Structure 1
Amino acid sequence: MKRKVLLSLVAAGLSFSTPSRATLLITEEEAKLPPPKGAVAVDQRGILRGPKVEFVSPGGSASSPLRLVLKFQSYGGARIDPESVKVIFLRSPNVDLTPRVKPFVAPDGINMQDAELPPGEYTVRVDIKDSDGRPGTTVFTLKVAPK
């Protein structure tokens, strides 16, 4: 009987707890930085068997907080090295988002459920390496609609 009462109290406490907070991906100050000058460099030399980074979500414009999903794919029996993942907000100067994204990095990709960003368009580069040291890179644009 005591166990049932305790379990119901715990369940009631969980249902009244505050919702989880979104993870701040880009701050207002960082969003105001000027865009990079010139072209954005992407390392794409020849046909390599290096890993691939695919931008999955959000598609089109989304309001914040948004779900940020990227998938990693490796080739030739190599594995993605999660420690090699670098996420850079391309601005002048660039902003390293890697520490903010690290908790959401897995060998198969990035799955960030509640990424908080101010409204605007943000160009982001993701760099990875596989267990054979081969690099993979993608550049994508996040479009965040006003709330």
Structure 2
Amino acid sequence: MTKWMWLGIFAAGLLDLGTVGATPLITDDEARLPPPKGAISANTRGILRGPKVEVISPNEAAHSPLRLQLKFESFGGARIDIESVKVLYLRTPNVDLTARVKPFIQAGGIDMPDAELPPGEYLVRVDVKDSDGRPGSVSFMLRVSP
């Protein structure tokens, strides 16, 4: 083979890698797990000093891959403890998504630009603590269109 053929094969391989950019958040097998009993999404909170977790995106049904963006806010001079962040897909049994999301966690929140999920509805809970050990949490529904 000539060097031009090798270069063409190499370039084709690089182009193929560019299409694989989405990061799996929930697999097809996990999506088929049975729902937990009595689980509901909740975004209300009382007067607490613990951190607040706000869902920024998606705020409506979206196509996969989608941008998963959450904002963390701490109070009283405390900082977000990014090592305390835990992300769960609420099923029976629950699926821990923390390792999949970890590269996208920062003190200001989670920004996962290309989360890949099969079509459906997914109840997700995010727990976080601040540097004073106070907890904050949010549960929300991710809706993925076919």
What is the CA–CA distance in structure 2 between the aligned matches of 1:123 and 1:60, rounded to whole Å? 14
- Count matched residues: 132
TM value normalised by structure 1: 0.83
What is the CA–CA distance in structure 1 between the aligned matches of 2:77 and 2:96, rounded to whole Å? 30
Identify, as 1 or 2, the structure richer in strand. 2
Q: Is the 8 A contact 2:58 2:69 kept in 1?
A: yes
Alignment of 1:19-38 (within 5 A): 19=18, 21-38=21-38
Alignment of 1:86-101 (within 5 A): 86-101=86-101
The 3-state SS of whatever aligns with 2:122 is strand
Task: Point out where structure 1 has 5 or more consecutive residues left out of the alignment.
Answer: 1-12
TM value normalised by structure 2: 0.84
What is the CA–CA distance in structure 2 between the aligned matches of 1:78 and 1:59, rounded to whole Å? 28
For residue 82 of structure 1, what is the aligned residue in structure 2? 82
Cα offsets for 1:41-70 (capped at 9, x unmatched): 97x885221000000101211000000000
Give the 4+ runs in structure 1 shifted more than 2 A.
Answer: 39-42, 44-47
Asked if 1:67 corresponds to 2:34, the answer is no
Overall identity of the aligned pairs, in %: 67
Task: Point out where structure 2 has 5 or more consecutive residues left out of the alignment.
Answer: 1-10
Deviation at 1:40, TM superposition (A): 4.7
Q: CA RMSD in A?
A: 2.0
